[in-house]
């Protein structure tokens, strides 16, 4: 927490993975209908095993975002796969967008993130890096993509069902590119408050 206070101009970088399916999104908790009969309610149909695609997103506290990375169908995201993404996708993007190194790279406690090969890579190549023991092992309340960005994106990309994965991918790419930088900035701005709240309830490792 002291680090955040002493480095207000440093850009914080967040990432997360999200599985998108071709089905239309439906939230039974939030959807309410005013109707005289159930026949007036629009039905949302889901397939038993919908086609899906895993997407990795990266956003920054100054409003920038890296083009989404799409994993291969059925690809297991282990330490080696993540290492290649760090080396050939993420690091080049960081160097282009932050040539002065005014950023700190953060990632959650997923096994592929905490693997020694990737911890060593981040330590050696990132301008600044929060290691595995600095981040709570399970921290959805602290990840900007989890509590804000991916829900926003899913509402836009899955308003209606997609006929195939190619259509879904095109929608994700379109809406990701159109995401307002101001909305990313606002979401990231709440990070400090969320860290403080987690510490207050003794639910995190960040001090």
Sketch the domain layout of the chain as residue ranges. 2-28+47-200
Its pTM stands at 0.79
* Average pLDDT, integer, range 144-163: 83
Give the long-range contacts of residues 146-152, CB within 8 A, separation 24 or more.
146/16, 147/187, 147/194, 148/183, 148/187, 149/16, 149/57, 149/59, 149/179, 149/184, 149/187, 150/16, 150/18, 150/57, 152/179, 152/183
Question: Average of pLDDT values for 114-131?
Answer: 94
177, with CB counted inside 10 A (0-12, 13-18, 19+), is exposed
pLDDT digits (tens, 9 = 90+) for 8-48: 678 999 988 888 999 987 655 455 556 566 665 565 556 67
Rounded-to-integer distance, Cα 73 and Cα 113, Å: 20
Residue 132: band (very low, low, confident or very high) from pLDDT cuts 50, 70, 90: confident
Q: What are phi and psi of 74, to 5 degrees?
A: 75, 10
CATH assignment of 2-28+47-200?
3.30.420.10
- pLDDT band (50, 70, 90) for residue 194: low
- Predicted pLDDT at 136: 59
Q: Would you state the pLDDT for residue 199?
A: 66
Residue 198 has pLDDT above 70, yes or no: no
User: What letter does residue 190 receive in the DSSP assignment?
Assistant: T
For residue 159, the model assigns a pLDDT of 87
């Amino acid at each position: 927490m002291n680090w955040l206070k002493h480095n207000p101009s440093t850009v914080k970088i967040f990432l997360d993975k999200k599985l998108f399916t071709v089905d239309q999104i439906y939230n039974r908790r939030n959807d309410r209908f005013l109707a005289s009969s159930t026949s007036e309610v629009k039905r949302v149909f889901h397939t038993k095993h919908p086609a899906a695609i895993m997407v990795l997103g990266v956003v920054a506290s100054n409003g920038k975002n890296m083009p989404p990375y799409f994993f291969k169908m059925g690809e297991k995201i282990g330490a080696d796969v993540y290492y290649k993404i760090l080396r050939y996708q993420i690091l080049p993007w960081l160097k282009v967008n932050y040539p002065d190194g005014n950023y700190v790279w953060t990632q959650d406690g997923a096994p592929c993130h905490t693997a020694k090969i990737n911890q060593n890579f981040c330590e050696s190549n990132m301008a600044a890096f929060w290691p595995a023991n600095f981040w709570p092992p399970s921290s959805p309340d602290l990840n900007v993509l989890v509590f804000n960005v991916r829900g926003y994106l899913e509402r836009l990309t899955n308003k209606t069902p997609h006929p195939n994965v190619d259509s879904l991918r095109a929608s994700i790419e379109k809406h990701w590119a159109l995401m307002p930088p101001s909305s990313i900035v606002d979401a990231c701005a709440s990070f400090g408050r969320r860290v403080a709240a987690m510490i207050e309830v003794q639910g995190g490792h960040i001090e």
